[in-house]
Amino acid sequence: MTSHAKAPAKVNLQLTVGPVREDGYHPLVTVFQALALWEHVVAAPRADGRITLTVDAAPGAPVAIDAVPTDERNLAWRAAALLAEEYGIADGVDLAITKGVPVAGGMAGGSADAAAALVACADAWDLGATRADLARLGARLGADVPFSLHGHTAMGLGRGDELTPVMTRGEFHWVLATQAEGLSTPAVFAEYDRQVAAGDLEPSDMRARDAIMSALLAGDAESLGAALANDLEAPALALAPRLGAVLAAAEEAEALGVMVSGSGPTVAALAHSRRHALAIAAHLDAARVADAVVTASAPASGTVLVG
């Protein structure tokens, strides 16, 4: 049976980073919000045990797919292989990915591919896996995979993969300004370590911010905008100084808040309405500070089967 799943991108409303652990990961206190910006994966079982993969950009989506690997380096490919191994599946699968999320952007597009591949393959192979089973496997593929499965708004502890749902009210409107040239997540974390060691960056308290939690509960975009916080912003700006102009342009357009998304280089700006989001996007386009600008509402669902 052919199965089709879609998985959301994310922004981190809070991304607080602690000192690097022995396993090379950093402990996080983060608040994820799922964006209505989707990766689609269609899984068609095949009898010969092989895994094949194709990648396309969604129609109209400003997504450069040239750099996306189509072999075992691809996280969706690894998701299918891990699932087959865990469940003793001899079948293979043809995976067709349609990307709506920018590549290497700090919006977890690759993690969304893995989440969608897990859900599509589990259905296509009729494994009877629960969401909890898939989340456990997802955490082995990457720290952001469990949240893409989960969706909505959630606090993430540990590597960001220990999730607790967060209560929110209403809809939020985001503008995402993307760059053609990606930033490597490990490089941004390494720059964070360097800045802390040099005394240029003060480690923050490893606590959820009350201002973010209460703004979400009240559905208060203005307060949320003021409370956005990303410890990886300074390191991302150090590695990609051109992002300073994107932040400035979003502020000129009176965004309620603006920050580097995750490890960057995407910049996320919060608007008070869909209309305001479109106005900020138009301003960013005119300022020519980003390679592409998209808008997205949030919170979106987690990974779901389509059709």
Positions marked catalytic? 10, 144
CB of 8 to ligand C5P, least distance (A): 16
Residue 25 found at the interface with ligand C5P (CB under 6 A): yes
Q: Give residues with Cβ within 8 angstroms of 28, minimum separation 6.
A: 15, 16, 17, 18, 143, 156, 157, 158, 159, 160
Told to check if 10 binds ligand C5P by CB under 6 A, we report no
Across-strand partners of 11? 33
Q: Tell me the closest approach of the beta carbon of residue 286 to ligand C5P, in angstroms.
A: 34
Shorter beta-carbon distance to ligand C5P: residue 20 or 211: 20
Q: Please select the residue that binds ligand C5P; options are 63, 120, 121, 143, rule is CB under 6 A.
A: 143
CA pair distance 82, 96, nearest whole angstrom: 17
Give backbone dihedrals phi and psi of 7, rounded to 5 degrees, phi first: -130, 140
**What element of type H or E holds 4?**
strand 3-17
Phi-psi bin for 78: left (phi > 0), alpha (psi -120 to 50), beta?
Answer: alpha
Candidate segments 18-26, 204-212, 228-236, 254-262, binder of ligand C5P by CB under 6 A: 18-26
Closest to ligand C5P by CB, 28 or 63: 28
CA atoms within 13 A on the CB side of 41: 34
Residue 142 binds ligand C5P, judged by CB under 6 A? yes
Instruction: Please tell me whether residue 26 binds ligand C5P under the rule CB under 6 A.
Output: yes
Please report whether residue 283 would count as binding ligand C5P according to CB under 6 A. no
Give the Cα separation of 168 and 2 in Å (integer). Answer: 35
Range in contact with ligand C5P (rule: CB under 6 A) among 50-58, 62-70, 93-101, 142-150: 142-150
Sites of contact with ligand C5P (CB under 6 A): 24-26, 28, 142-144, 159-160, 185-186, 189
